[in-house]
Amino acid sequence: MLDSFERRYFTEAKGCAEHGFCRSFIVVAWSIAMYRLYCLIQKSGFVSFEQTYLTMFPKSNFSLTSLEDFFDVSDHNVLQVAASKSIIPHIIDKHQRETLLRNLRLRNMCAHVSKNYAPTEPTLIGFVDEVVDSFLSVAHP
């Protein structure tokens, strides 16, 4: 299910959860999900993804030749393009996109300093159910 690279990240995320570091778990687990998505994009071919990206976001300066090229691209945009009907077969479906977008907001709340938000254990469990169990268990490159 997880490749060795993903497994290292997931071990780190699991350690965060075991110690009650919900915020850190969510941020690290999100990284695994996005890496998985990048691998799915690579498997489907960078060319159609890049063309669709530039069509949807024409003001961007985006060139895709390796997974590292995603470092400077917003996760939101990647999720929008990955679910585009212009790419056949679709990289992710509409339901996966909506689930990931909802959880991207949670990831952003955890990754950016805030006096008003701290994730709770139920939030972590919901994140695991939606992102880890549904996306990581189904979508494998």
Domain extents in the chain:
4-109+117-138
Q: Check residue 133 and report its DSSP letter.
A: I
Q: What is the identity of the amino acid at 50?
A: E
Count the Cβ atoms, other than its own, within 10 Å of residue 4: 6
pTM of the model: 0.89
Of 39, 20, 133, the residue nearest 92 (C-alpha): 39
101 neighbors 109 (Cβ within 8 angstroms) = no
pLDDT per residue as tens digits for the range 31-54? 989 999 999 999 999 999 999 999
pLDDT per residue as tens digits for the range 72-110? 899 999 999 999 998 888 899 899 999 999 999 999 999
